[in-house]
Structures are given as C-alpha cells and as structure tokens.
Structure 1
Amino acid sequence: MILLTGASGFLGKIIREELAKSDLVHTLGRDALNDIVCDLSKERFSTQHAYSLVVHCAGKAHSVPKTEEEKAAFFQVNYEGTVRLCQSLSASGKPPARFVFISTVAVYGVEAGAAISETHPLAGTTAYAQSKVQAEAFLAEWCKVNGVTLSIVRLPLIAGPNPPGNLGAMINGIKTGRYLSIKGVNARKSVVMAADVATIIPRMSEVGGIYNLTDSYHPTFPELEALIAAQTGKGLPLAIPLWMARMLGRIGDLAGNKSPINSLKLGKIISTLTFDDSKAQKELGWRPRRVLDEFKI
C-alpha cells in the first residue's frame, strides 16, 4: 500500500495514475476527495494503515513571495509539512520501508551552468529553495533513525498536460501572442516528462539516493517555442534582437518586480542551465524520452 501526498497537483495526478497500476494508493491532502483529509502545513494526521512506500509530492512552488508572510508560507508547507508528515507516520508505529521526496533543482541556487550534478553545493537562497533544502535534511535524519530507504528526486522544468511554472507561462504567452522570442539565443534548459518521473519512482524507491532527472537532451528555447507554436496552430513568436531585449530589461528594472521582464529575468532566459542525470542512468536504468518528441499541450 502506498501513501501519496499532493495527488491533486500537476505532477501528483500523473504519479497517482502510474502507481495505481500496480498497488493500492491512498492519497493525503486538503481536498475532501482524499483518503486522508489533512493540511500538513497546520496539522498532523492519524492512520491505522501500514504503508510500504510514501511519496511526498505536496509542496508550494511557482510563486514569488513579496512579503515575509508569503516567504514563511513556503517553510510552513514544504518544511513543516514534511516534518508533520513524518511525525504522523512515527506516531502510527508503522514507518514505511521506503520514502520518495519530490524536490527541485532550485536547491542548487544556480542561474547558469551545464551538467550540474547532485554533488553541487545546496546554495539556493530563495524561500522555495531553502524550504526544500531544510526538508531534505530533515528527511535524511528521520529516515536514517527509522531505517527507511530515502530517495530524493530533484526536478527541473516538468512537461505534461497543462504544466505550471515557466513552461506554462511560455505556452500561454505564445497562445495569446504576448510572447517575445530573442534572436540568436540558443540557451539550453533541462526539462523532463512528468510521466517519465512517475514511471521511475518504484525503481528509485527500492535503490534510494539523490537523483537529478532530465530528458538528457536539454532543448533550446527556440526548439520549445517552435514545438509549442506548432501545437497551438500559431506562427513562431515575434523575435527581437538581444540588444533590444537588454534595453527592455533595463526599463523593467525601473518598473520593479511587476514588470514582465527585467535584467534578472532576461539573464535567466539567455543563459544555459542544465543538470546531469547520468547517476540516474547508471543506478536506476533511467532512459527518458525527449520532451521535443513526447510533449503534447
């Protein structure tokens, strides 16, 4: 029997569908449709069931906090929620044999670089990154004390039906004609199919360890733009020269965080940022599909 948190989310839905093919899955979340209704950011839960595997997919992401209260919300959900989940499992007297934690490449705290591996320092400074770093550290100790095999998966952009985050924003921008491409920029970005992540979880849970997962190809922005434009029936987005994009970025700096583009955001767009998944290939037999071949909007 498997316990899955965050089953109503983008990735959680896909993980649930995959795991349910081979085992009974209980879900935990705030929605009344869950088997266990609980808001882990505020409370613990009780259960009489013994779970062989817990997949902790629930978390807060895809927003930029503007206040201290909004920053604190990341820690309440991502760190304190993880602590309460484990405390509840301990109280049941039946800790799972295996635990999989869905984390993020944001923990590395890098905005540019190529083939960044799992050994890179955890230097993330955002509330999102730090809350995940703290959750990872807590889980490492809790699983060690309780004899639980821990797997941590650090994910980049995730592709699948109606994706959230930057990929979802790109799709919406191209659909509405409010997206500007930048000429001559071929920065590569790590992306992974959500379905591939779901498929590898059972194998990963048996082996344990920390893994980056990508599609191993790392498409360029123009490649993603062309794929999305073709699937939406739109023409390729308007492309502007880099010098003009830099000028718009400087104007955005003056406008503050509300600006759709500034120098910081532009720097991320034009810089390659990829992660090394060779460890997963060697230890798990990870054989991902190329996002450019499989992604359907």
Structure 2
Amino acid sequence: MSRILVTGANGFLGSALVRALVERGHRATCLLRPGSDVSGLAGVEYTRAEGDVIHAPGLVRAVEGQEVVFHLAGVRRAATREDFLRVNAEGTRRLCEALVAAGNRPRLVLVGSLGASGPSSAGRPREEEDVPHPTDAYGESKAEAERIAFSYADRLPVTVVRPPRIVGPRDRENLLLFRLVARGLRLRLGGGERPLTLVDVEDVVDLLQVVAERDEALGQSFFVGHPHPFTLERIQDLAAEALGVRPRTVNLPPLVLSTLATAADGVARLTGRPLPLNRKFARQLLAPAWTCSSAKAERLLGFRATRDPADTIRRSALWYRQHGWL
C-alpha cells in the first residue's frame, strides 16, 4: 500500500485515477479547493486535503508523507495567457518546491497534454522527442509546466504523461459534440478530414499507474493513445449510432466556426460563465491533425492502449443520456 496524493482529483481523469488507486488498495489523498464539486468521487474512500497548487501552505501540508504525487490540477479555460501560466506552470513550480521541501523525494507524475507539443501533420504523428510547438496559451502553459518539472529532475524522480483527447463517461470536453448530435445536428468542417488520436480514460489511468512504479519511466515523457486515428465526423457518427438518431449534416466553414467561437468567448467574459464553444476548442478542431505515437510507451514499458475509443464513444453517449447530460 502506497501513500499517494492526487491534485485535480475531482476532475474527469482525476476521479477515475483515484477510484483505480483505491481499488488497488492505495491510500489516496485528494488536494481539493473549498467548495469543489466532488460528485465524481462519490462512494470512494479518500483523505481530503484542503488547498490548491497556487497557495504554498496548503501544498506543504498535503505533500507531507506522500510517496507518489500525481499532478493533474490545472485550468483548461482562462481569460488570459497569464492566468494559464499562473496555474498550470507556476502551480507546478510551487508543487515541486513543496515536494523538495518534504525531503523524502516523493515520485512526481505530471499529467501534461498533447497540446504542449502542438498539432501534428496529417501524415506523421507527434513523437515525444519532437520540438514542442504549442499553438495557444493553454499549450504554452503545459509545455512550460513540463520544463519546470524536469528542471527538478536532479532533486525529484519525475515522469510526464501527455494524453491526447480523452474520451469516456463524465467527460465534458467533448460533450458539445454529443449534445449537437442528440439535437439532430452533425458538424462537418470545411477543408477535409482532420485526424485525431483518442484515448479511453481508463487507458490513461493504467499508464499513470505503470509509470509511477517503473524506473524506466524516470526522466521520460510518454504519449498514450489508440493507434488508429479518428475524426470529428466519426465521433459524431458513433454517438448518433448509439443514440439512435439520424442527424442532419451542417457544413461549417472554418471562418464561421472561428467567428462563433470568438463571440462565445466574449459572452463568457461578460457573464463569467465558460461556454462549451470557445476559441481554444475551435483552434483545436481546425488544426490539420492532432495525432501522436505511443510507440515509446510500448518500447520502454510494454504498455499499449487497448480499449477501442469507438466503444467508449458509444458508452459515453448512453451514459450522457441516462444521466441527463444531453
């Protein structure tokens, strides 16, 4: 049994990770802000640590005595580049400082993002050794978080896992697509198909646990994803099949999508409520491809993502409907 801290534990991936850790008999501590929605952790036995990655005192208390720290906390939507950097990058620095101060060299597993590397070309997936080219402030902040984490590698055992687009029940990042399909609409972006690497949330959880235990993972970064790319259109087709609907295809020129996303961001700033559509999401959809190779994880760790995202998309669509999310 290990003592494990998870930051961002109440999120989609975080709650799935905590459940898996507890099922394996580990003692999980969740770093949670006051008032956090912990519905994803319902029925799970864990220790709550009040705090966040921005305020050092709460971090120092949370990391004390931990053997492994999974760092998932961060923001995916923010008003400014500085807000992304403050939480995703400087929050990682504060966590590393707290871990160093703890004195027992707990193992750090940072959950990064394919966004830190940037989009790929349609014909060649991203590899871990490629020079990062993030295309937005979120990606920049995640790339900087990686750089900061590895700068502590002489004082902490560090590993980074970079998931692409994660799918599964409870995911909100892709929920807009499912809601459109449920309402009878299917988007087709102009400019041709754009390949996407997808990964089931449970495959990410499995790899996180592997890298926390294997010395071969130290000082390394890993992509994780299903080997066969999907497309935005196929995701919608699979959702429609699961929901038993025949949506009408709406051709959406890139300029129209960008304009709508800009308007949505303006509304979000005025109301203080983030909307499902935003410029970050639009830029991701309009990139030529978001694919990555998981060959390194298989070569060094013998790990492969085995769950078919097509099945996951179908299950997710049914889960959303059963729980009133559509």
TM-score (norm 1): 0.84
Of 273-282 and 25-34, the range deviating more from structure 2 = 25-34
Shift of 1:266: 8.2
Equivalent positions of 1:22-61 (< 5 A) are 22=24, 23-31=26-34, 35-45=48-58, 46-47=60-61, 49-61=64-76
Give the conservation status (yes or no) of the 8 Å contact 1:159–1:291: yes
**Among 281, 291, 297, the residue aligned to 2:309:** 291
Report the CA distance shift for 1:230/1:120 in structure 2 as closer, same or farther (over 3 A).
Answer: same
* Structure-2 separation of matches of 1:50 and 1:199: 24
* Structure-2 separation of matches of 1:139 and 1:266: 27
Shift of 1:95: 2.6
Of 51-60 and 225-234, the range deviating more from structure 2 = 225-234
Equivalent positions of 1:102-113 (< 5 A) are 102-110=111-119, 112-113=121-122
Report the CA distance shift for 1:141/1:172 in structure 2 as closer, same or farther (over 3 A).
Answer: same
Equivalent positions of 1:259-278 (< 5 A) are 265=282, 268-269=285-286, 271-278=288-295
What are the Cα deviations for residues 186-216 of structure 1, in whole angstroms up to 9, with x where unaligned?
4321110111111121221223211111111
Equivalent positions of 1:77-116 (< 5 A) are 77-96=87-106, 98-110=107-119, 112-113=121-122, 114-116=124-126
Of 43-52 and 208-217, the range deviating more from structure 2 = 43-52
Aligned partner of 2:272 in structure 1 is none
* Structure-1 separation of matches of 2:72 and 2:64: 19
What are the Cα deviations for residues 256-278 of structure 1, in whole angstroms up to 9, with x where unaligned?
7116699x948944833311111
Question: Is 2:150 aligned against 1:137?
Answer: no
* Structure-2 separation of matches of 1:102 and 1:228: 27
What are the Cα deviations for residues 37-89 of structure 1, in whole angstroms up to 9, with x where unaligned?
1122233323384222110011111x363xxxx32211111111111112222
Give the conservation status (yes or no) of the 8 Å contact 2:105–2:157: no
Tell me how large the CA RMSD over aligned residues is: 2.8
Equivalent positions of 1:157-196 (< 5 A) are 157-165=165-173, 167-181=174-188, 185-196=192-203
Aligned partner of 2:43 in structure 1 is none
* Structure-2 separation of matches of 1:274 and 1:109: 10
Aligned partner of 1:225 in structure 2 is 236
TM-score (norm 2): 0.77
Give the conservation status (yes or no) of the 8 Å contact 2:9–2:32: yes
* Structure-2 separation of matches of 1:31 and 1:290: 37
* Structure-2 separation of matches of 1:59 and 1:95: 23
* Secondary structure class of the residue paired with 2:133: coil
Shift of 1:162: 2.6
* Structure-1 separation of matches of 2:105 and 2:148: 15
* Structure-1 separation of matches of 2:92 and 2:293: 26
Stretches of structure 2 that go unaligned for 5 or more consecutive residues are: 39-46, 265-276, 317-326
Give the conservation status (yes or no) of the 8 Å contact 1:186–1:270: no
Equivalent residues, number: 281
Give the conservation status (yes or no) of the 8 Å contact 1:111–1:268: no
Shift of 1:233: 2.8
Report the CA distance shift for 1:74/1:49 in structure 2 as closer, same or farther (over 3 A).
Answer: same
